[in-house]
Amino acid sequence: MSPHALLQALKASKPAFGAWITLPGILNARTVAQASPHLSWVMIDCEHGLTSLQPGAAESIQAITGLGPNAPSPIVRIPATGFSNSTSWQIKYALDAGARGVLVPMISTAEKAREVVADSRFPPGGRRGFGSPFTPSAWGVNAAEYLKSANENLVVMIQIETKEGVQNVDAIAAVDGIDCLFIGPYDLSLSLGYPPPSPDPHPEVETIIQDILKATHKAGKKCAIFCTSGKQSFKRAKEGFDIINVVIDTSAMTESVATNLLAAVGGES
């Protein structure tokens, strides 16, 4: 089986750092994925990014896994939120594309979390259908091996980013089969009536973030958070977050271009 850098980091109890892919195309995905040996995972964002579930996510995943044994784990965030009835088929598309994990936005109840688990696991752990001829090759296994190993090697993530999700966080974290609660600080802030982080959350939101972290770890699950810089990510790692997004592809590109052009004209970065 191809390496699963995210799962390896989690089993070693080490912070798993990742990068967010919003731009479409296999060359962009591959460029981000090979940018640093410190990357454990990359998030192919089909919610707010421009990559389609089909065939975009599958093509990006193949480009990433084709990097070889040092490739980060490709995770897909589906477009549909927990308020939608469309999460089931979108999870199927993401996992059939070969993703090593799936992220479902705006999960607010334990009932919806259980639905996500069921759609992500093959029987008897769930209700996922089996049949894609493309998935096993992305994992470096044959069909029988994929069917046997997928349930225990997939990372199922759900996002806590609504007021209702905060109220139900203990019940959500307790759902068997959910591996990680992923905090989305931007929508969480807006849902709670506060401005979005700039770059850090409002102090009241920060208190809630720390409460989610504690509740997640109390349930024996991993907790993830979206950051936008290495400095911010270092701080979150020290706080005990298990999975941390460090950078977004578009921001990394624009910041690098702006910084170097500023230096070129004699300005200060």
Q: Which residues are catalytic?
A: 48
Total residue length of the chain? 269
Torsion 257-51-43-64 (CA) sign: negative
Nearest CA-CA partner of 47 in 10, 7, 83, 71: 83
Lookup result for tokens 């009536």:
193
Tokens describing residue 75: 């995770």
Instruction: Say how far apart CA 67 and CA 56 lie, in whole Å.
Output: 17
**Residues 80 and 90 sit within 8 Å (Cβ to Cβ):** yes
Distance CA 114, CA 156 (A): 11
Count CA within 13 A, CB hemisphere, residue 229: 9
Q: H helices within the chain, ranges in order? A: 5-11, 26-33, 58-65, 87-96, 110-120, 135-139, 143-153, 163-167, 169-173, 185-191, 203-218, 230-239, 249-264
